[in-house]
Amino acid sequence: MQTVNNQAQLNKQLQEFTGTEQYYRHLTGYLFTDGVHFLAQEYGTFWLIDEILIANQPPLDEEFQVWKLQRVFNTDTFKLICEDGNKNCVYTKEIPFSDFSADKVELWFANNVLYLPSEH
């Protein structure tokens, strides 16, 4: 597992996204940005978009959500966590397996749009 190099590469690539030129519509009706689309295409995480946006059906009570995907130490298991922006956990789910090559990624959801923190 080369997650250290992949994490640094992922962080660098995602920081290049500031704002979005195009929105993509998910089957739930919610939108996601260029940066989230890049993450999904390059790192095979369309499933992550599904997990987050389907968890919002019906909408979670939080207007602003911080979604964190974190690898469980040295495994292919991940934990998906949603916080309210004040570090209060409002949702968690174990992802029993993923071939996501980095250790963690953070996405934000507000106003029916899923986006990268750098796109805020």
pLDDT tens digit sequence for 8-36: 999 999 999 999 999 999 999 999 999 99
| Dihedral pair phi/psi, residue 44, rounded to 5° | 65, 40
How many residues comprise the chain?
A: 120
Confidence tier at 1 by pLDDT (50, 70, 90):
very low
C-alpha distance from residue 17 to each of 27, 43, 90, 92, 101 (Å): 23, 15, 27, 27, 20
Residue 6: the pLDDT is: 87
Q: What distance, in Å, lies between the first and last C-alpha atoms of the chain?
A: 31
Task: Work out whether the CA dihedral 14, 19, 21, 25 comes out positive or negative.
Answer: positive
| Dihedral pair phi/psi, residue 101, rounded to 5° | -85, -5
pLDDT in tens, 60-109: 889 999 999 999 998 999 999 999 999 999 999 999 999 999 999 999 99
